[in-house]
Amino acid sequence: MPPDSSLLTVGVPKETSGHERRVALVPADVRSLKKAGLEVLVESNAGLRAGFLDAQYLQQGARIALDRAELAAAEVIVHVRAAGADPQEPFAVGETLRENQILIALCDPLSDPRPIAALAERRVTTFALELLPRITRAQSMDVLSSMATVAGYKAVLLAADASPRMFPMMMTAAGTLTPARVFVVGAGVAGLQAISTARRLGAIVYAYDVRPAAREQIQSVGGKPVDFGLESAEGQGGYARAMDQDFYKRQQAAMAKVVAESDVVITTAAVPGKRAPVLITTDMLAGMAPGSVIVDLAAERGGNCEATRPGETVDVGGVTVLGPLNLPATVAHHASQMFSRNISAFLVHLKKHGLPTLDTQDEIVRDTLITRDGQVVNSQIRDRLAAPVS
Ligand code: NAD
């Protein structure tokens, strides 16, 4: 059947970075978009590396574009990673887009604003999913939470794999094995998922967060909250705020004993828009038993551990320090499924609010919109562009 020319088309390209295995939209969400009045055009084999075949998209009513050029017909392009969210190729996605096309993707616009300026120059309309307000009605669109869930889960598997110990307590004919002791630093979405995954594997799990509200959440997933007697560092919107070096020094000193007694430490501490705080110094690693493992989920933001090298695994006096990057891409099937459900909810929301016209009275539209009509329309990004390069 020929496409209905009155409908808007959503294009789903292959991701540009060779390391990216996810796809922004999976076959199961095609029908809900069609119901909302959106056609779906998928670049051939876009979902292959996440386990989704062209035939499955066709079955659900999508069309297949033989190459990237055919996607020029789509009014909206959905990507997993574009601009600063793809640090290897931050300008690559922009170069494939045409004037007035709408891009919806993770863009990490506050880390590197230059690719955002390039999108504005091309007169692309861009929505950055990181800027979605964390309000109840936007929960179904919250890509950051979905990807943090996947990363928290996978971090525990990496730790279990790198550790010379098994996680559960075992009573066997060959003696009793004690359970692994895991310490999770930062109990946001990724940290809470790491706690529950480590618990499922049978570890004893301790956890700490600078937000007092995290205490109950740690307990609710089976962790033991540790109290270091430090003041709350809760900031706006339920996020942590940046503290001074004195606070982090006191936190390091308070955590040293728990770190030394842990077989595995998983760090997830982040402060929005800032470099991750250094919470585990190289001196603290010297107190850990050889064979201990650190998985630093903050590696992308510079790392919570002084010894972390983003993207690498290093051995520091017998302690293995992992600094994995883009972990959700390593669980591409389910990460894509979650991403797709979120982005579909976002698209349906835009459609209800008049897409292709953009209703900037709506908080979700307003907060996520970063380029339009040749301008960067987000003031934080504009400030960053105006700031001298350090
Ligand atoms: P994040 O990725 O920004 O940070 C991860 C965690 O690190 C946070 O819990 C933070 O408090 C913690 N942290 C920062 N500095 C620390 C330090 N020095 N020591 C220890 N921990 C430190 O956070 P996130 O996972 O995106 O979640 C942030 C908050 O938003 C949480 O309260 C979460 O429950 C909430 N949230 C709300 C919604 C919603 O309402 N829609 C959705 C997702 C998350």
Q: Candidates 132, 142, 153, 209: which one to mutate for ligand 1, based on the most atoms within 8 Å of Cβ? A: 209
Selected catalytic residue, list 4, 59, 67, 139: 139
Task: Decide which of 17 and 27 is more confident.
Answer: 27
CA distance 294 to 304: 10
Residue nearest to atom 34 of ligand 1 (CA): 188
Residue percentage of the chain with pLDDT more than 90: 89
Report the separation in Å between the CA atom of 209 and the middle of ligand 1, taken as the mean of its atom positions: 8
Q: Are the C-beta atoms of 211 and 240 separated by less than 8 Å?
A: yes
The answer, yes or no, to whether residue 48 has pLDDT greater than 80, is yes
Establish whether 239 is a catalytic residue. Answer: yes
Confidence of residue 35 (pLDDT cuts 50, 70, 90): very high
Establish whether 252 is a catalytic residue. Answer: no
pLDDT of residue 165: 97
Report the separation in Å between the CA atom of 239 and the middle of ligand 1, taken as the mean of its atom positions: 5
Give the chain's largest Cα–Cα span. Answer: 72
Q: Phi and psi for 265 in degrees, rounded to 5?
A: -125, 130
Q: Are the C-beta atoms of 45 and 67 separated by less than 8 Å?
A: no
pLDDT of residue 389: 64
CA distance 85 to 107: 5
Q: Is 269 in the pocket of ligand 1 (CB under 6 A)?
A: yes
CA distance 176 to 174: 7
Q: Candidates 211, 248, 301: which one to mutate for ligand 1, based on the most atoms within 8 Å of Cβ? A: 211
Q: Which atom of ligand 1 is nearest to the CA of 192?
A: 25
3-class secondary structure for 170-235? EEECCEEECCCEEEEECCCHHHHHHHHHHHHCCCEEEEECCCCCHHHHHHHCCCEECCCCCCCCEC
The answer, yes or no, to whether residue 1 has pLDDT greater than 70, is no
Establish whether 134 is a catalytic residue. Answer: yes
Q: 70-86, pLDDT tens digit by residue?
A: 999 999 999 999 999 99
Q: Are the C-beta atoms of 189 and 149 separated by less than 8 Å?
A: yes
Burial of 245 (0-12, 13-18, 19+ CB in 10 A): exposed
Q: What is the mean pLDDT of residues 79-104?
A: 95
Q: 167-205, pLDDT tens digit by residue?
A: 999 999 999 999 999 999 999 999 999 999 999 999 999
The answer, yes or no, to whether residue 368 has pLDDT greater than 70, is yes
Q: Are the C-beta atoms of 142 and 148 separated by less than 8 Å?
A: no
Q: Is 142 in the pocket of ligand 1 (CB under 6 A)?
A: yes
pLDDT of residue 290: 97
Report the separation in Å between the CA atom of 318 and the middle of ligand 1, taken as the mean of its atom positions: 31
pLDDT of residue 4: 58
Q: What is residue 130's DSSP assignment?
A: G
Neighbours of 144 (CB within 10 A): 17
pLDDT of residue 226: 97
Task: Decide which of 237 and 48 is more confident.
Answer: 48
Residue nearest to atom 35 of ligand 1 (CA): 238
Selected catalytic residue, list 4, 67, 98, 134: 134
Confidence of residue 253 (pLDDT cuts 50, 70, 90): very high
CA distance 269 to 187: 8
Selected catalytic residue, list 32, 112, 123, 239: 239
Q: List for the chain the helix, strand, coil content (%; round to 5).
A: 40, 20, 40
Contacts of 314 (CB under 8 A, 6+ apart): 307, 308, 320, 321, 323
